[in-house]
Structure 1
Amino acid sequence: MATRADRRETNPDLGVLAGQLLFAVQRELFGSLAELGFDDLHPRHGAVLAYLEVDGVRATDLSRMSGQHKQVIGTMIDELETLGYVERLPDPADRRAKLVCPTERGRAEMVAADKIMAAMQERHARRLGRDTYAAFKTAFMDVVENQRARDLSRRP
């Protein structure tokens, strides 16, 4: 009978693969960002930065999109505000609500991160072949959405 260690080597489960991919992408992304002067950011900030829009986004939407609890997102927003990447501004559509908006530094980080991620994806597309990479992403997105839908249906 194969051990768990054997299975991780020869047939890793979805969680192991997704985790390995996430951590490797984070190391490259945040390492490259640090080289560009954004060395005060950490992978945990990705829960906000990955979903930030130039025109702003509500914290509740950041929570929903990232899958993180509102309290976690609130803490990340506080940290990013202190670091000068975001600011909270009134939502023109609902003055009671706030939008999390990138500052000039935040917009510069967004541009840099987009370029780094595009280069990473381009590298994999060249290595695998564009059609294979496109099919992989389509299948991976389907698996992620299916798993998220199952997770949401099981929440109290």
Structure 2
Amino acid sequence: MLYFSIRDMENLIEDLKSKVLKAENRVKGVEARSALLSYTNLELNDALNFLSGKTQSLEASLHQTDNAKIETTKKLGIRIKVIADLVLKLTIKRERLQKQISSLTIENKISTEKFWKSEKQDSVRATSRIPSGEVLTKSAARYQANKLS
């Protein structure tokens, strides 16, 4: 019986050694996976830090671009207002000039009519003062009329 007990104990010891060996192999596998995971985690953290810095840089650039866009929009608004004011002033000036041209045209027409009326009257007066037999042109009649006056 002692022999069986010893044999059982030896089997138990062998069985336990086998289990310890399996456990050690599992631990080695887990340690290898843990080391691999640690390395992967380190690489991912490095990539995360790089991308985080890149994101911050891009956000700063976006913010700067937005500010520039807002500033440009303000400047454009001011320039559009200035151009609109200039267009309005030009329109008013054009209308004023058209009125002046119209009134000057009417005034010129009236002056021309008065001139031709006076020419006809001067021509009639001048021919009445010319000695008999002489015929004068209009310009000569005018000269003669001015001379006599």
TM-score bracket for the superposition, by shorter chain length: under 0.3
TM-score normalised by the chain length of structure 1: 0.18
- Identify the structure with the greater helix proportion: 2
Higher relative contact order (Cα pairs below 8 Å, separated by 6+ residues): 1
- Identify the structure with the greater strand proportion: 1
TM-score normalised by the chain length of structure 2: 0.19
> Which of the pair has more CA radius of gyration?
2
